[in-house]
Structure 1
Amino acid sequence: MGNLNKLNPIEAALKFINEHFPNCQGALLAGSVVRGEATETSDLDIVIFDKNLSSSYRESLIDYGWAIEVFVHNLNSYKQFFEMDYKRARPSMPRMVSEGIVLKDDGIIDSIKKEAMEILNNGPEEWSEETINTKRYFITDALDDFIGCSNRAEDIFIANTLAELLSEFVLRTNRQWIGASKWVIRSLKNYDEEFANYFVEAFDNFYKTGNKKRVIQLVDYVLQPFGGQLFDGFTFGKS
């Protein structure tokens, strides 16, 4: 990628917006470089606010030695993304806005940041009892497949599904934001670092040894406060 020509992230981001969005009303630099978590493969996440745009868009490119992801909005379109992220309980856009370093501001950024922080602080909507029971059923179903499976290749992918379902259940029943990929473990740690370590160790032990005991114990521990595993008597859509 031409690392010898790579600029400081803030300098690169400023050059980028001055070249590509000189008339925007606001711009933020977000992502791992802002959180101090940058790696060799990190990119620049840049959020642009431009009142003259008819609609939002996202674009990926390479410039100034950096891979750049740019999220471009007018002064209304970002609200739709805030709402979508709230409904799916993955606050990607509010998080970028709240943590972002201001690159340009014509007096609009403060209020948008306050909107983002309010969403993050309030957390996602509470799951209904029906949703909790439905999730319990699917976790139980995946666990039964996991316990009964004797095929190592299938075991691995069932475990992956179980980990995803279980992490979502823990976080949502505690009114916490969820995540995907690396944000699964980050979300668990933000909620409870001790539990996150317990969660990782259980699945790591299975992947290394094939022993399912700790994963089974983990599932039972998570479901127990909500009535445990659920199969007998579960219905969905019955009138």
Structure 2
Amino acid sequence: METTDKTAPLEAARKFIDQNFPDCDGALLAGSAVRGEATATSDLDIVVFDSKVPSSYRESLMASGWPVEVFVHNLTSYQAFFRDDTERARPSMPRMVSEGLVLRDTGVIDAIKGEAQTLLAKGPEEWTDAAIRTKRYFLTDTLDDFIGCTDRAEGIFIAGALAEGIAEFELRTHGRWIGASKWIVRSLKQYDGQFAEHFVEAFDHYYRHGNKERVIELADQVMQPHGGRLFEGFSMGK
């Protein structure tokens, strides 16, 4: 990444904390800058823990040439975000805390990092048979829309929904965390690099050539161990 007009990420983050949260209990630099994946449009993700803050908040700022996303918590409010992320199976906050580089610590960071790492290692709550059945039905419905679609414009967006559904189904039925946007592919790579490659190739082939077969095969592949496509006999709320 080109940083000609920017202070180095870690230096910029430390300066930001010194200027904006000099008395905080702890602070971490997380995100792409820590993982070595920063791009020309990346920001600095900074998590702050301050016992004097009454409730959590998020703020976007500019500092040292960087866009900064700061996530501010007191010493208990972050736990609600951990719980919410666990329930939706997208561990954004636990991941930031776990991977974060320490910018400041008065002795609170190790325990909070330990909570995050324990949560991440445990994985999301296992889907019940009923949940799998419901997800099979809606994935089948999206797949049917995709198969029957003859409008290229509509097909592009149905394929996007199908990609999310396939990724979610494969990951959750294997007890793995899911993601949104770029984290769909990242989560799949963490789960199974070969599957992730197959997934990307299938959708890339459709978007480039309009051929649906690889995507259809992929959807059937993930549903097959759980009974395949589902329509007849499904009901909700009866």
Q: Which band: TM-score by shorter chain?
A: over 0.9
Measured in 2, the distance between the counterparts of 1:5 and 1:211 equals: 44
Ranges of 4+ aligned residues in structure 1 off by more than 4 Å = none
Alignment-mate amino acid for residue 228 of structure 2: G
Q: Which residue of 1 aligns with 2:19?
A: 19
Question: Is 1:29 the equivalent of 2:29?
Answer: yes
Q: CA deviation at 1:47?
A: 0.5
Structure-1 residue corresponding to 2:176: 176
Q: Output the CA distance in 2 between the equivalents of 1:99 and 1:136.
A: 34
Aligned to 1:22, the other structure's residue is in SS state coil
Q: Which runs of 5+ in 2 are unaligned?
A: none
The equivalent of 1:122 in structure 2 is 122
- How far did residue 63 of structure 1 move? 1.0
SS, match of residue 60 in structure 1: strand
Residue 100 of structure 1 aligns with which residue?
100
For 1:209 and 1:142, how far apart are their aligned partners in 2?
20
Deviation at 1:225, TM superposition (A): 0.2
Give the letter for the 1:236 counterpart.
M
Report the aligned-residue RMSD. Answer: 0.8
Cα distance per residue 1:9-60 (max 9 Å; x no partner): 1111111111110110000000101011111111110000000010010000
Q: Partner residue of 1:111?
A: 111
TM-score by length of 2: 0.98
Correspondence for 1:222: 222
- 1:153-192 equivalent positions in 2, closer than 5 A: 153-192=153-192
Q: Give the fraction of aligned pairs with identical amino acids, expressed as a percent.
A: 65
Alpha-carbon spacing, 1:4–1:202, altered in 2? closer, same or farther (3 Å) = closer
1:8 is displaced (CA, Å) by 1.1
Q: Which residue of 1 aligns with 2:44?
A: 44
CA deviation digits over 1:73-111, x for unaligned, max 9? 000100010000000100000000000000100000000
Report how many aligned residue pairs link the two structures: 236
CA distance in 2, matches of 1:208, 1:54: 51
> Is the partner of 1:170 in helix, strand or coil?
helix
Q: In the alignment, what sits opposite 1:132?
A: 132
The answer for the alignment partner of 2:145 in structure 1 is 145
Structure 1 unaligned spans of 5+: none
Q: How far, CA to CA, are the matches of 2:215 and 2:30 in structure 1?
A: 36
